Chain A
Amino acid sequence: MDYVLDLGAVTRHFGPLLEGLWVTIQLTLAANAMGLVLGFAVALLVLSPVRLVRLPAVAFVEFFRCTPAIVQIVWFFYCVPMLFNLYLGSMTMGILALGLNLAAFNGEAYRAAIQAVPREQRDAAVALGLSPLQSTLHVILPTALRLAMPVLLTNGIVIFQQSALVAIVAVPDLMYEAKSLATKTYRPIETFTLVALVYFAVSFPVSQVVGWLERRRAVAMA
């Protein structure tokens, strides 16, 4: 193999890569905002004692958990416009596809966390005379959020990585820009290695924070 590394080929085209990274970050933040809020609603629906409310929510969660993300994204891009005559621009579609996926996974994280709030804490809230709404608001929510935080962060970082999938439907994200750059410069090794490092550089600190939160949570729940 006589491939000679030429980092300059990549660094000379930093502009498009940075623009791609910015698109990736926007996708990630918007999908996370959606996933954090919608996910909580999903959890409340999944925990509903009313079957008619619970079943559609469970179906929603299972659909996203049991199909590959890449299929979800492709389906969203090609089928939604045809089925619903709805096309919102590739960026918005990307955010919606990723956000709904994240809502399903975060919904499960919230559900598990709500169920993990020790029974004694709900009981203590009742014993102190708090109404069901007050106890949800002041006792269960804060504790559940705290319990779910490591998983929510992990899911958020997974979405950051999964967002690379939208490159195949022409959203100009980091991966998309990297592919065009690699094709243009014939420098796939430099380009894709650099891009991998960028994804790593963002994900790794967050995963460290998750580890730290989990250690702290183990202490705090005692």
Chain B
Amino acid sequence: MFDGTRDQTALVRMEGLHKSYGAVKVLQGLDIEMKRGDRVVVIGPSGGGKSTLLRVLMGLEKVDAGNISFGGRPYITVRNGKTVIDTEVRRSIGMVFQHYTLFPHLSVLQNLVLAPCKVNGEGTASAKARAQALLDRFGLGARAGAYPAQLSGGQKQRVAIARALMLDPKLMLFDEVTSALDPELVAEVEQVMLELAAQAMPMVIVTHDMWFARNIASRVIFCAGGVVVEDGPPEQVLGKPIHERTREFINRVFHIRA
């Protein structure tokens, strides 16, 4: 759909990622290389490690083995069993979660300017002006003074996306950002993500919405049992999967939705 914007140099390279929670092995040697123009949708069975993959990529989890580089620079490495994270690289990645993302004690505008002001030392006036412009662009201009509790679920998620964009991320991660929403609110959030896609924002998206996956993905990765089972263009993975396991999953998911 947005193939014109593809750039072929590697943005993220994950090699041999291993991660377990106690005895539960969640990631078991994950290798993914992501190009600058890629919009990767990750699908897979519940408990397959999709959220863990995103959380590792965001630098929120320790890993047992493996490494990640970002833009050719080492980002996450394991040294003597300890996970070392380059926090400067981490700051160029943004993430939106399924639940409770916004800070409830801060207004929409305050949510947006907190990190730019505290982390980057940006002036309040300039941050507020940028925040207002971003909110206007997302059709939320009138809600700048509202508190999260006064927003609909769809508005909250759009604010969360705007808040991440305030830091000019080079990569955006979305973990089932529409799963908790009422069906009629899903489209407004997906619309914002499609807009970002049109501007060639690199993204990794976890979603159960196969229609949306087909629309936004330049690449789909089917993840199960902590490894990449199938990786290819959406037409292949969602349409004519090569692997039996993928086919089973796709059939089941599309069957439920139909």
A interface, CB within 8 angstroms of B: 118, 120-121, 123-124, 126-131, 134, 138-139, 142-143, 146, 219-222
B60–A128 CB distance below 8 A: no
B149–A222 CB distance below 8 A: yes
Q: For chain B residues 111-158, which have a beta carbon within 8 Å of chain A? A: 114-115, 118-120, 147, 149
Q: For chain B residues 182-229, which have a beta carbon within 8 Å of chain A? A: none
Complex-state Cα separation, A221 to B190, whole angstroms: 24
Chain B residues with Cβ under 8 A from A219's Cβ?
149
A138–B100 CB distance below 8 A: no
Q: A123-B60, A127-B58, A127-B60 are in contact. Are A118 and B100 (CB under 8 A)?
A: yes
6 pairs, CB–CB < 8 Å, chain A vs chain B: A123-B58, A123-B95, A126-B90, A127-B95, A129-B119, A146-B105
Complex-state Cα separation, A219 to B150, whole angstroms: 9
B149–A128 CB distance below 8 A: no
Chain B residues with Cβ under 8 A from A120's Cβ?
97-101
Complex-state Cα separation, A126 to B149, whole angstroms: 22
B167–A129 CB distance below 8 A: yes
B164 within 8 A of A: yes
Chain B residues with Cβ under 8 A from A126's Cβ?
58-60, 90
Complex-state Cα separation, A220 to B208, whole angstroms: 28
A133 to chain B, nearest CB (A): 10
A interface majority secondary structure:
helix
Chain B residues with Cβ under 8 A from A129's Cβ?
87, 90-91, 115, 119-120, 167
B250 within 8 A of A: no
Task: Report the interface size for chain B: residues with CB under 8 A from the other chain.
Answer: 30
Complex-state Cα separation, A142 to B160, whole angstroms: 19
B93 within 8 A of A: yes
Complex-state Cα separation, A123 to B101, whole angstroms: 8
B167–A124 CB distance below 8 A: no
B115–A130 CB distance below 8 A: yes
Q: Looking at the complex, which one of A127, A131, A143 makes contact with B104 (CB distance below 8 Å)? A: A143
A71 to chain B, nearest CB (A): 40
Chain A residues with Cβ under 8 A from B93's Cβ?
127
Q: Which 5 A-B pairs give the minimum distances between C-beta atoms? A: A128-B115, A118-B100, A129-B91, A129-B119, A142-B105
Chain A residues with Cβ under 8 A from B94's Cβ?
127
Q: Looking at the complex, which one of A121, A127, A222 makes contact with B103 (CB distance below 8 Å)? A: A121
Closest B residue by C-beta to A123: B60
A214 to chain B, nearest CB (A): 14
B35 within 8 A of A: no
Complex-state Cα separation, A167 to B98, whole angstroms: 54
